[in-house]
Structure 1
């Protein structure tokens, strides 16, 4: 798949059908991947064009127009008259997101008709959102959905189907009697069913990566501890040819990663380091590296979180690690032709007689002494050793770290944007373009000057400073040294209490799509 930006458009995709079919074949040949896919969705997409009588709903996707909406010639006159009247009353013009619903139109061959506007242009993310909107309206009493999409390209149809998949994910393993998951077949009637199917199948590894990231985020802290997340990740990436290595607590300690080890030393679940490698490029080629915060539960340590609302969702503190694992699956599933590695430091920040105390000094992998002024600023400590490992042990040519890091970020930007920090224009340009493409938007915050922001009188540096988001970023930059580096603070972005767009309630897998798209764009510019 080759993705390009042209004339300001965020979504002009040139897809080679042969390449898509090869990706589809790779997916279909992986029995494990197919089995895992069925664990998440009971829905199915079919792309052959055939007439279906008695469908539960016909969805007609139409472009924006200033005139009358063109209805299919084969419809009966009484159907066309009823639909035209309904559209006129609703002042429907085909603007993006407009929808008119009709129940059992006279003379119609389906139980319902939904007329949906696609606007004058439909980029990738808008197409995904449109698919999610349709998925959200399909009830558990519907088994057959037919989408008339002749106005859409194969890639737009694939994006809509992908959006439906993302919305239909459910995390229901803790419910005694889970509500039935969506279970229906969507038939797509477009211009080129074979190309649409190939394009859709190419989205499956990306969706699977998002699903795994959501699982990781949603797992409660007592079940989603470091060793458990490492084991889950190993199983998830195995069908994709990703090499996985897990370093246990004693190995972490022996390698000198005292910042990572120190965060977990108060828990029975000690620190682990998960390393994932995809070799799609030449042997010896420097990889692009992701480093994701995997703090599997955060009490704040001795700087205890005292708000019930803040502590109850702290299993989401591993969202950055989940994003890295999911992005690795997406890129390997797409068979990208460059080397990429994922590093996920895994910790469990609890209180006990052995826990790190405020004022303690931890020694990171590169020898830096860090004064722990606040034990609740633990994410940057584990990321420090993760970044060091990616730079020193994996010889990364560029590093992107991602973390639910600071409340300061939420106060600055809210939850619509992730904060991005970097001094490297080429990394920033690729990240901003990736955000526009995927709808996971980023906004750059300054790294400097902020001189002395993390200076310590006791050690080399300290783990807090003001402004808070910048202090976290500056600490991480210290460990990247001269390696091109970019930092994503996704605090507030990774979890929602209610469903919206392509995301159901709970963990949303934020960052999987963003990192995967960023890596492709950056690799294309630097190869």
Structure 2
């Protein structure tokens, strides 16, 4: 898998600046504002730094944005990048600054003159996150970024502060790799094997095969995958870092490794992106990896339903009726509304087996949520204000967009079926909401629950602050923060 680039933290050494090769990065809080490091660089460049800081181009920069000088006179460095950032910047600005640095990394390496930056660990996190590349299927020699050295006032303290972020970054990278992987590589077999390999980190991983799923009565999940050569599976990952016997938080992910739409087949244009329809399962996997790496003091169980939705002679048809593990029957109106069928059975299993204190599911579930919220926010649906508010607070703290959507009986009524207990779709209007209403039927009374529709945020067609175009890993940071703040022993 892809790993975050290693970042070293060393004491500030201004005398070494003339000999530094690669890129030098320094910070300024505003026009004309100079730290000791910037004053040293200004002398070495015969006043060029000062002129840059007083130029209108720098004056127009927002916190976290940068200007740079290529081949600055008086230095051996290839480039000098000056980032506008207050010494006591907030987390968002610091990570944005790191993202700007990470986007410009080169094989020549980079020296970041952080000096007294109080958010140096967050800047380093931003560098690591934005430096991600998915190169598993590119041939030729890869020119990896050179050494990244942060010069800071207290290297040991900054390194300690950065350690939890390194675990989060690795979890995000794991998620991004899964979502970016093509479906001929990431089959249900391969996905399950990658999760099983996390046992070496201390996770307890169990793979339920089709025979076991049939005995459990997971007719909804099995119906989705019956047209594929890849067998359906459920993978259960347990992290028991909290009090022994204490009920866990349950995370449930949709893992459709490829979605053709089944018999209700999708249009050809854009279908190649349906390799990302396992994004919810990818996020759950990334969170579980993060918890294990940082030895979280919490009990969390992650469950993912792994299927492939393909059209063949055995595939599920529109009009079929399936029986869920709960016992309810579902008339399948549209085989392309398959994710909710997978989640219904896995959510019920999670509650029956683990009796969790709360449950959060994630899925690239509906195109309707993209129409509603675009690619800036994940849609959040919940039956519990307390859990929902905590999740939204965690998302704000981590800078991941999330917006609560409505639910209600009027939407629920749209799922009424003539021949079964319910239909799997309720029409085009309010499609993301009726999908959430469907899922709520598989949430037990008094179970705090949130549903996260990440269809618009799991994969982007353009760069973002902390990720190149492609998979974002949205949700790993938010859920890790939620677990830290609400479920972890202090």
What TM-score comes out, normalization by structure 2 length?
0.93
Task: Report if aligned partners of 2:279, 2:364 keep a CA contact under 8 Å in 1.
Answer: yes
User: Pairwise CA RMSD of aligned residues?
Assistant: 2.1
Within a 5 Å distance, the mapping from 1:332-371 to structure 2 comes to: 332-371=292-331
SS in 1 for 2:297: coil
Q: Verify the 8 A CA contact 2:11 2:151 in the aligned structure 1.
A: yes
- Equivalence for 2:234: 273
Report the Cα distance in structure 1 between the residues aligned to 2:284 and 2:70, rounded to whole angstroms. Answer: 44
In structure 2, distance between residues paired with 1:495 and 1:341: 25
Q: Does 1:474 align with 2:440?
A: no
Q: In the TM superposition, what whole-angstrom CA distance separates every residue of 1:230-257 from its partner, at most 9, and x where no partner exists?
A: 101111x223211000001111111111
Q: Would the aligned equivalents of 1:431 and 1:514 in 2 still touch at CA under 8 Å?
A: yes
Match of residue 22 from structure 1: none
What is the CA–CA distance in structure 1 between the aligned matches of 2:308 and 2:74, rounded to whole Å?
A: 62
Q: Take 1:87 and 1:329, find their aligned partners in 2: how far apart are those partners?
A: 43
Matched residue of 2:300: which SS?
Answer: strand
**Which of 239, 243, 254 in structure 1 is aligned with 2:200?**
239
1:168 counterpart = 2:131: yes
**In structure 2, how many angstroms separate the alpha carbons of the residues matched to 1:278 and 1:171?**
28
Correspondence for 2:25: 59
Q: Which whole-Å CA distance do the structure 2 matches of 1:111 and 1:174 have between them?
A: 30
Confirm whether residue 521 of structure 1 aligns to residue 473 of structure 2: no
Which residue of structure 2 lines up, in the alignment, with residue 438 of structure 1? Answer: 398
The answer as to whether partners of 2:64 and 2:94 remain within 8 angstroms in 1 is no
Tell me if 1:227 matches 2:227: no
Once the two structures are TM-superposed, the CA of residue 70 in structure 1 deviates from its matched residue by: 4.4
Match of 2:3 in 1: 40
- CA shift at 1:220, angstroms? 1.5
**Does 2:223 align with 1:255?**
no
Instruction: State the Cα deviation string for residues 341-376 of structure 1 (Å, max 9, x = none).
Output: 001011100011111111111111111111111100
Name the SS for the 2:442 alignment partner. Answer: helix
1:146 and 2:111 correspond: yes
Partners of 2:11 and 2:153 within 8 A in 1: no
- What SS class does the counterpart of residue 435 from structure 1 fall into? helix
Seen in structure 2, the aligned counterparts of structure 1 residues 504 and 76 have a Cα distance that, compared at 3 Å, is closer
Contact 2:42–2:50 under 8 Å retained in 1: no
Q: Which residue of 2 aligns with 1:118?
A: 85
Task: Tell me, yes or no, if the aligned pair for 1:95 and 1:119 is still in contact at 8 Å.
Answer: no
For the residues of structure 2 that align with 1:181 and 1:163, how far apart are their CA atoms?
A: 20
C-alpha displacement of 1:104: 3.9
| SS of residue paired to 1:133 | helix
SS at match of 2:69: strand
**In the alignment, is the contact (CA less than 8 A) between 2:321 and 2:420 conserved in 1?**
yes
Who is 1:499 aligned against? 463
Distance 1:91 1:168 in 2: 26
Q: 1:78 to 1:360 in 2, by over 3 A?
A: closer
Q: Decide whether aligned partners of structure 1 residues 177 and 103 sit closer, same or farther in structure 2, where only a CA change above 3 A counts.
A: closer
Q: How does 1:23-422 map to 2 (within 5 A)?
A: 39-41=2-4, 43-50=6-13, 51-52=16-17, 53-64=19-30, 68-70=33-35, 72=37, 73-75=39-41, 77=43, 79=45, 81-93=47-59, 95-108=62-75, 110-119=77-86, 122-140=89-107, 142-143=108-109, 145-153=110-118, 156-177=119-140, 180-235=142-197, 237-309=198-270, 311-422=271-382
Matches of 2:322 and 2:432 in 1, distance apart? Answer: 21
1:452-484 CA distances to partner (integer Å, 9 max, x unpaired)?
Answer: 121112111111014210111011111112211
Query: What is the SS of the residue equivalent to 2:54?
Result: helix
1:92, 1:100 within 8 Å by CA — same for their partners in 2?
Answer: yes
Contact 2:394 2:481 in 1 (8 A): yes
Query: Per-residue deviation at 1:128?
Result: 2.1
TM-score in terms of structure 1 length? 0.86
Aligned length: 481
Contact 1:44 1:184 in 2 (8 A): no
Match of 1:24 in 2: none
Q: Deviations over 1:18-51 (max 9, x none)?
A: xxxxxxxxxxxxxxxxxx6xx5355543334443
Structure 2: gaps spanning 5 or more residues:
none
Once the two structures are overlaid, the 10-residue window that deviates more, 67-76 or 449-458, is: 67-76
Measure the CA separation in 2 of the matches of 1:193 and 1:88: 31
CA distance in 1, matches of 2:241, 2:154: 30
Look up the match of 2:473. Answer: 509
Name the CA distance, whole Å, in 2 between partners of 1:249 and 1:375: 20
Post-superposition CA distance 1:263-296 (Å, at most 9, x none)? 0011111210000001111222110010011011
Report the secondary structure of 1:370's partner residue. Answer: strand
Q: Which range is displaced more, 373-382 or 55-64? A: 55-64
1 CA distance for matches of 2:300 and 2:255? 19
**Whole-angstrom CA distance in 2 between matches of 1:189 and 1:78:** 18
Displacement after TM superposition at 1:418 (Å): 0.3
Q: SS of 2:303's equivalent?
A: strand
Unaligned runs of 5+ in 1: 1-35
Matched residue of 1:46: which SS? strand
